Amino acid sequence: MAQVKIGHVKLDSPVLLAPMAGITDLPFRLLCREIGGVGLAGSELLNSRAIVLGIPAVREKAKLHPDDRPLSVQVYGNVEDPLPQAGAWAVTQGATVIDINMGCPVDKVCKKNGGSLLLKTPGRTANLAKQIVDACDGVPVTAKVRLGWGANELTAPDLAKRLEDSGIQAVTVHGRTTSQKFSGSACLDGIARVVEAVSIPVIGNGDIHSPETAQHMFEHTKCAGVMVGRHSMKEPWIFQDITKSLRGESPVFRTRNDKIKIILRHLELILEHRGERSALHCITNRIALYGRTLGHIKPLKERVRLAKNADEIRAALEAWLGADVAEELCFAPRA
Ligand SMILES: Cc1cc2nc3c(=O)[nH]c(=O)nc-3n(C[C@H](O)[C@H](O)[C@H](O)COP(=O)(O)O)c2cc1C
């Protein structure tokens, strides 16, 4: 397993947790790290203007915790936004890496010329990247891109080369276009083209849900690392599974009880770092996803969804520990 180096930062594992707005908050990042195998975790995307204006809710999301390293803090904005200042601020907070969002297809971001819209103007985007690199005082700056805006505008290889020339130290490629949003499947050939275009590490991203799909991404694209997003919401142990498989180590078999204990730990981490309202919101929303790996747990899902406070969620989960359900249900193949 080759080591990924992003500038001077050496990752212990080439498996990265994707930045996901509303998902990869501090408790979730800590949960994935505790289980193991996370080489680098991405923050939620942060609005550069809000950072510079000092909006507390946004600055809070970039707050560094000693157990949450190495951390890639992702910022977004357009060429007129204070992205260099926002990156510099995140550096002062201790970010390990600053990541520029160039792939968000959501209107709220694109309509302000940020996110994916940066794919359309490679020259201007590369200039912006250079300003951010200069502002970040030696802390590596990376970019997260899609293949291009539409099927006829696959700008990623050219943009990645320009970004490399601007001092960007790694590029993550989600193998879809902006127009695709999340439809279809990730195009690994498109990611391979970016790998061919640059000498910096390329992280392959899109649809990885098992050690086998991670391996396929490595072999097909020759990428340096892989990034997992959506599947981690169902199986936050995916990073450990992939890392162990890459190291040739035996897989970990988790019983249903083990998995429920992980959900309980997630609950405790949210309570500790974000409070009861967030815990209730998060676990009631995510129990269906977690539940997909737990066999038949409809009554548990019902109880969690109807819970009025964290104690009720905890009681529901604890009651299910050791419940009389065949263990083999937990080993259903990954969806
Ligand atoms: C709920 C959600 C939020 C996301 N938020 C971000 C984000 O803030 N920044 C970003 O670069 N990508 C974001 N993404 C995209 C993911 O980082 C990733 O590129 C995409 O989900 C493809 O990887 P996957 O197939 O492993 O999920 C988000 C995706 C989802 C599903």
- Catalytic option among 32, 104, 282, 330: 104
For residue 74, give the ligand 1 atom closest to its CA.
9
Answer whether 175 contacts ligand 1 (Cβ < 6 A): no
Hey, which of 16, 174, 210 would you mutate to test ligand 1's pocket, going by the most ligand atoms within 8 Å of its Cβ? 174
Rounded Cα–Cα distance for residues 18 and 226 (Å): 9
pLDDT tens-digit readout, 5-36: 999 999 999 999 999 999 999 999 999 999 99
pLDDT of 325 strictly over 60:
no
Confidence (pTM): 0.95
- Going from the Cα of 104 to the center of ligand 1, the distance in angstroms, rounded, reads 8
DSSP state letter for 165: H
pLDDT tens-digit readout, 195-210: 999 999 999 999 999 9
Rounded Cα–Cα distance for residues 65 and 72 (Å): 13
Answer whether 229 contacts ligand 1 (Cβ < 6 A): yes
Looking only at the bridges linking them, the beta strands covering 40-47 and 202-205 are unpaired
pLDDT tens-digit readout, 117-130: 999 999 999 999 99
Of the candidate CATH numbers 3.20.20.70, 3.20.10.10, 2.60.40.1930, 3.40.50.410, the domain formed by 5-246 belongs to 3.20.20.70
pLDDT tens-digit readout, 32-51: 999 999 999 999 999 999 99
What confidence score (pLDDT) does residue 324 get?
58
What confidence score (pLDDT) does residue 1 get?
76
Token pair of 306, please? 């109807």
Answer whether 16 contacts ligand 1 (Cβ < 6 A): no
Answer whether 174 contacts ligand 1 (Cβ < 6 A): yes
What is the full DSSP assignment across 260-300?
A: HHHHHHHHHHHHHHT-HHHHHHHHHHHHHHHHTTSSS-HHH
| Average confidence score pLDDT of the chain | 94
Please name the residue that has the structure tokens 């909006």.
55
Tell me whether residue 104 is one of the annotated catalytic residues: yes
DSSP three-state, residue 330 = helix
